[in-house]
Structure 1
Amino acid sequence: MWLTTICIWLLSLLPWRNWPVTPDILLVVIAFWSFHQPRRMGMVAAFCFGLTLDVHDAGPLGLQALLYALVVYGTQLLHRRLARFDLLRQAMHLIPLFVGAKFVTVLVGAFLMSAWPGWTWLPGILLTVACWPLVGWLLLLPQHRMDDAGTGIS
């Protein structure tokens, strides 16, 4: 769990993440692990990863951290509901959470910087939610391989 999160965090330090339409894969990975391992990936870890990205981007300190903490809180709050669905339906349930959390951080950022950034952030956050099934499938792949090995299926 920590290996995948740190690897994606290192990829998030590359400059391509600053394009408005780029999905935030680190947000998806943190939300995924907070859903599947809530005792190991909590709001403190998400907040710390967000702070490191805030420092790296030299933007208002705490905006990414707030976004990550809100999404982790929401995924842990929706844990029972999300557990009933497959990855695609989970993504559909996470759309309001991701968009709402991002909207809160955009409002706070607009207040702090006295400028409305527009709606250019919306396609990026929708692409972030669209990455949920793919990231979830990739992160659950080792678990499924171990399940298949235990049953004797080749």
Structure 2
Amino acid sequence: MSPQSDNRARVLRRPASSLSSLEPIDTSPFKRPSNWLFVWFTVILIWLISLLPWRLWQPAPDLLLLVLAFWCLHEPQRVTMLTAFVFGLLMDVHDGMLLGGHALVYSLAAYGAVMLHRRLQHFNAVIQAMHMLPVFLVSETLGQLVYAWVAGEWGGWQWLWSVLFTAVLWPLADILLLLPQRRLDEKDAGSV
């Protein structure tokens, strides 16, 4: 055996580094798009639920923000930043607050979800929630800073609980909003 072939054998036997062996948690993301009627039904239903007075409780999660960001991540062609902006304006009008405050927060969160779209499609809901927490935090922080600048007073830090609860609810939203799609996938898998 020659020294060159001995060196090649050593190189070939070298174990892979730990970074090269990393794989996404979910290697089979959904290929089929969600039904557009279901997507818009959930957005409008959550918008109507968000009009109820329970939202006035400071640590209440922003369900509309959660659902809009979720669909922007999973269906960016159907639910866009414009959709988030319009629903944000509707929430501003309903609350009688600074016009554009919710619109800014929802648009920034939708932008973050669209930017992370390709990356997060390969991970499970818990990892997606960990990635979306900073998106929710930054968008809400900017909204609070604009409100404090215009109103001339700081509203406090209680809104951080709302951001945290919104991110914690991401896996539940994943289960509920993708349930019809999972049922179709199971039905197709059973017919093969």
TM-score calculated relative to the size of structure 2: 0.78
SS at match of 1:23: coil
SS at match of 1:152: helix
Deviation at 1:152, TM superposition (A): 2.2
* Superposed CA offset, 1:11-34 (max 9, x none): 000000111100011111100111
- Is the contact made by 2:92 and 2:100 (CA closer than 8 Å) also made in structure 1? yes
CA distance in 1, matches of 2:158, 2:181: 37
Identity of aligned residues (%): 50
Deviation string for 1:96-151 (max 9, x for gaps)?
A: 11001100000000001000011010011110011111011100111011111122
Q: Does 1:81 pair with 2:119? A: yes
| Aligned amino acid, residue 52 of structure 1 | L
Distance 1:74 1:46 in 2: 12
Counterpart-to-counterpart distance in 1, 2:84 and 2:114: 12
Q: Which residue pairs with 1:112 in the alignment?
A: 150
The Cα of 1:82 is off from its aligned counterpart by 1.1
Counterpart code for 1:144? R
Q: How far apart in 1 are the matches of 2:44 and 2:88?
A: 12
CA contact (8 A) 2:74 2:121 kept: no
Give the structure-1-normalised TM-score: 0.97
Q: How does 1:41-60 map to 2 (within 5 A)?
A: 41-60=79-98
Q: Separation in 1 of the partners of 2:140 and 2:185? A: 36
* Amino acid aligned to 2:88: G
What is the distance in 2 between the residues matched to 1:148 and 1:77? 30
| d(CA) in 2 for partners of 1:150, 1:94 | 31
* Residue in 1 that maps onto 2:185: 147
Divergent runs of 4+, >4 A: none
Query: Higher helix fraction: Structure 1 or Structure 2?
Result: 1
Q: Does 1:124 align with 2:162?
A: yes
| AA in 1 matched with 2:95 | D
Q: CA deviation at 1:84?
A: 2.0
Kindly provide the CA deviation profile for residues 51-100 of structure 1, in whole angstroms up to 9, marking residues without a partner as x: 00000000000000000000000010111221121000100011111001
- CA–CA separation in structure 1 for the residues paired with 2:189 and 2:128: 27
Structure with the larger RCO, 1 or 2 (CA within 8 Å, 6+ apart): 1
CA–CA distance in 2 between the matches of 1:86 and 1:32?
Answer: 13
Q: CA-atom RMSD, angstroms?
A: 0.9
Greater shift, 80-89 or 58-67, is seen at 80-89
Equivalent residue in structure 2 for 1:5, among 22, 43, 66:
43
For 2:108, the aligned partner's letter is L
Alpha-carbon distance between aligned partners in 1 of 2:49 and 2:160, rounded to the nearest angstrom:
22
Report the number of matched residues: 153
Provide the rounded CA distance (Å) in 1 between the counterparts of 2:187 and 2:121.
Answer: 24
